[in-house]
Amino acid sequence: MELSVVIPTFNEAPNIAPLVERLLAAIGDREAEVIFVDDSTDDTAAVIERIAFRSEAAIRLIHRDEAVGGLAGAVVTGLEAALGEWCVVMDGDLQHPPELLPRLLAAGEEAAADVAVASRHVTGGSSSGLHDPLRHLVSSAATVLARSMFPLRLRDCTDPMTGYFAIRRSAVDLSALRPRGFKILLEILARRRYRVVEVPLLFAERNAGHSKATAAQGLRFVSQLAALRFGRLSAFATVGALGALANLLIMGGMQLAGVWYPIAALVAAVVTILGNFVLLERFVFHDLRTARFGLLRRFTRSFAFNMGEAAVRTGVLWLIVETTVIPSLPAQAALIGFGFIVRFVFHARVIYRPTPETTTAETTATAVQQRQRPA
C-alpha cells in the first residue's frame, strides 16, 4: 500500500465527517488507508464506524480503552498497524488542512527524505489558528527550547512541535520510541538523525470541540525533553527537586509553628513521599507501570522504602544537629541530596524494573481493541 493516514482522536465526533470528506478528496487515486486511533469518551468511535461502513475507502478504527502514552501513544499504535510505505500523521480537529497532504508527500519523495514536516515556522507558514496569545508564546518557547537541546538532530526541522508530518514507515524504529503526551514528532526526531524536508503549514482554526492542551501536557513536555536529553534519571531528578523543596517548606513551616524538628522532618517526609509517588507514576515511570507490579504493590514498596530511608535520614539529622553547629534545614537539604541516587536505583531496578519479555509494543497492545469495517 502506498499511503497510511494515522489520525489520533479524542472527543472529535463533530469533526469526523468533514475531515474524512476533505481527506479522501486530497488522497485521490492513491492506494491508501485511513486509520483512526480513538481514545474518546464521547461517540467519536461510533461516528467513525458509521462513516467507514458507508465508504468505499479503507477506513479502520482502533479504539483504545486505556489511553497508554496519550496522543503520542495513539500515533505509535497507528504506525504499528499501518500498511503504507508512507505514513501521514495529522490531528482530527481540521487545524491540519487535509489539502496539504499531496504536497507533503511530494516534498518527501522529491527530496528522498525520511520525514516531511508541515511547519508553521518556514516562509509561507503561520500559527494564526492559535488565537490565544499565551498558547502562541508557549508554543514558540517550547520550539526554541527543544531546538536548543537538540541542535544537531533538529537542525533541519523548524517545527518539532507540529503534529502534521509524513514519515517513511521503514525509516523509524517504533520499538525505540517512548511515547508520552502530545509531541510524537519530537520523540521521533530526537532519537536519531533523519533526512528532513519541510513545507509551509497554515495552521487553521479548530472546526469544533475544544483544545486538549493542558498544564499537565506542559509538564509531560518538560519531562519528555529531559528524558530524551538526559535519560530517565533527569526526570527523576526533577521530581526529586520538587519534593525536596516541598519537604523543606513543610519542615520549616512546622518549626516556625513550634514543632520539634525531627517530628517536622517525618511529617514532611510522609507528605512528599505521597506526592512524589504520584509524579513518578505520571511522568517518570509511566511506561513501566504494568511491567511487574500492580499499583497497590508499587505504592506499598515505594512508601515502605522511602519511609525507611526517611527514618534513617531523620536519625542522622538529629545526630548532626545535636553534635554540630549546622542548622536543621541545611542539614536536611544535604541529606535529601545524598539519598537521591539510592532512591533512583531502588525505584528503577526494583519497583519499575520491566520483566524480560515486556516490550513497548506488547504493553501497548494490551490496551488496544482493533475493529475493522466488514469486507
Instruction: Kindly list the domain boundaries of the chain, sorted by start residue.
Output: 3-211, 231-351
Contact 44, 354 (CB under 8 A): no
Give the separation between CA 197 and CA 146, rounded to whole angstroms. Answer: 18
Looking at residue 226, what is its pLDDT?
67
Does domain 3-211 fall under CATH 3.90.550.10? My reply is: yes
Question: What is the pLDDT at residue 372?
Answer: 40
Instruction: State residue 248's pLDDT score.
Output: 93
Identify the pLDDT of residue 172: 92
In this prediction, residue 216 carries a pLDDT of 59
**pLDDT, position 325:** 92
Q: What is the mean pLDDT of each run of 10 residues along the chain (375 residues)?
A: 94 94 95 95 94 94 87 93 96 92 96 95 78 67 77 85 93 85 84 93 66 57 66 78 92 95 94 93 78 82 92 94 93 89 81 57 34 38
Residues 63 and 45: beta-carbon distance below 8 Å: yes
Task: Report pLDDT for 366.
Answer: 31
Phi, psi of 165 (to 5 degrees): -160, 165
From the list 350, 280, 266, the residue with the least C-alpha distance to 309 is: 266
Looking at residue 350, its pLDDT comes to 83
Write down the pLDDT at residue 262.
93
